[in-house]
Amino acid sequence: MRIPIDRGSRQPLYRQIAAQLRAGILSGAIAAGSRLPATRRLAADLGVNRLTIESAYAELRADGLIAGRIGSGTRVLPRLPFPAPPARREPASWPLWQQELRPGLPRPGGRLPEEVAAGARAGREGETIDFGFGSGDPRLFPVDDFRRLLHAVLKRDGIQALGYGEHQGHAPLREAIARVLASQGLPAGVDDVIVTSGSQQAIALVAQLLLGPGDVVLTESPTYGGALDLFRSLAVRVIGVPADARGLPVEDLEPVLQTHHPKLIYTIPDFHNPTGACLDGDRRRLLLELADRYNVPLLEDDFVGDLRYEGRALPALKALDAGGRVIYVSTFSKMLMPGLRVGFLVADGPVRARLVERKRVNDLATSNPLQRALEAYVTVGRYETHLRRSCRRYRRRRDAMTGAIRRCLPAGVRFDVPRGGLFLWLRLPDGMDSGRLLAAARPLGVSFAPGAPFFPDPADGAPYLRLNFAAWQEEKIAEGIRRLGEAFRQAERRPARTTTPATGTGSSRRSVSGRSSNRDRRSALSRPSRGAADTGRTSRDRTR
């Protein structure tokens, strides 16, 4: 039997052989009932190891194409006739329960950054520089080290690593997380830690437990778009409080609490997504006082607190909390790789047991093999080393992007230089719309996250966009910002839509009550200038 194989290909030889045989069987060139050569003979004919042929035959057996019997060798199985699939039905003929499904998530005002990135790739495959990415650079992650650790864990733990594992999370991993948190000023017991499938699940568990249809949640405006979509899916009312360069304006929060009686405050105090702002120490303490006074739980999302490049250290809200007012959420995915999908939350008091039960109902447990390998990675110090290296690189990339913006973008662009995190948040010149700019940018091979998905009212996001400086090397950043500058020039030549620009960094055009307020007027006076910097804090060696 003649089977051409390419020894210089990256595809393994056994897969090449299996593919050739599979094509012959499916096309009918190798008839049903035909006897395939013995593995020893075919290996000799092709000049490969006998195990290579056995592996190729194993793939075909798994596909149901061949079978072997003692005394008769390996033969091609007859192809079973399959009935033609039924014609696709029109929506009116779907079952009633499908016709009566509630409408999907409300998504006025644009797509999330991940969808924007997909659209950009579709427009100019292989050439797009995507600044809309939502995490760090996965190319920096030491894949070989982690693969060896995963292999060692499977060899060490065997069948134990392949079970569901504990609902609350692998105990040694929870111990490692608790040690790291405690060493950085956030004391947490092992039982206080719940391992989740990314921080998105952690936020979902808290929201599902504490919120019901019609309840109110307070957030910064703008804020993380994934949280906004989650809240909308639960039919929750989202009240966005316009943020400034110091984060959530806590000193103006009491009237909002008295008016709306929220059931939850969701906040990102460190290197905020998308603005990069940090909540200062006075505001942190006041926020805890207000949460206690009005009996409102705080959900603290510390998604990249580890990525601090400069500035004074500030404690997490949870570290200042002595009475169970704060539920703390973090993740490993942003620092290591998005596909890892391992995050955690820290809670104490009766709510902890309820969250564990919610976790069990949602997915039983987070991936057991990945938890065990991650515990080994964190315990031996590789994560800390990776964090230090990434911080040095990301700081250089941040500086490269701010320099390129000053060189290539119009003088009317405003931004603060964050002291950590992943993102730059830009306010466009008056009259410029980020949607119009994105439409001009895509054909030039550059993409970004427009502001609309980050606001409770997407219309407020028109003058804003988010850029990820961590995901690309310096030369790519320079080229991407150069292309963005060209997109500005093209967009300025297009007819502009009539919009009322928002005021301040990440601020809304309206107050939460829908009327102009003194805070909105003060926010306009504190509009960020190029090079202004927020106050950061030292983040802890943990992950999201």
Provide CB contacts within 8 A for 445, sequence distance 6+.
Answer: 124, 127, 128, 129, 483
SS3 per residue for 147-216:
HHHHHHHHHHHHHHHHCCCCCCCCHHHHHHHHHHHHHCCCCCCHHHEEEECHHHHHHHHHHHHHCCCCCE
Helix boundaries (H) for 28-49:
39-46
pLDDT, mean over the chain: 83
Per-residue pLDDT of 132-161, as tens digits, reads: 988 888 888 878 888 888 889 888 888 888
- We find that the CATH architecture of domain 13-76 is Orthogonal Bundle (1.10)
pLDDT at 97 over 80: no
Fold of 167-381: Aspartate Aminotransferase; domain 2 (3.40.640)
Domain segments of the chain as ranges: 13-76, 113-139+385-532, 167-381
Position 542 scores a pLDDT of 34
Separation CA 230–CA 204 (nearest Å): 7
Q: How confident is the model at residue 385 (pLDDT cuts 50, 70, 90)?
A: confident
Question: pLDDT at residue 511 above 60?
Answer: no
Under the banding of pLDDT at 50, 70 and 90, the label for residue 288 is very high
Residue 332 CA to residue 355 CA, distance in Å, equals: 20
Residues 186-230: tens digit of each pLDDT? 889 999 999 999 999 999 999 999 999 999 999 999 999 999 999
Question: Which pTM value belongs to this model?
Answer: 0.74
Is the domain defined by 113-139+385-532 classed in CATH 3.30.930.10? no
Asked if residue 36 has pLDDT above 70, the reply is yes
Residue 541 pLDDT class (50, 70, 90 cuts):
very low
Please check whether the two domains, 13-76 and 167-381, share a CATH topology: no
pLDDT value of position 543: 35
- The C-alpha R_g of the chain, in whole angstroms, comes to 27
Residue 63, pLDDT score: 78
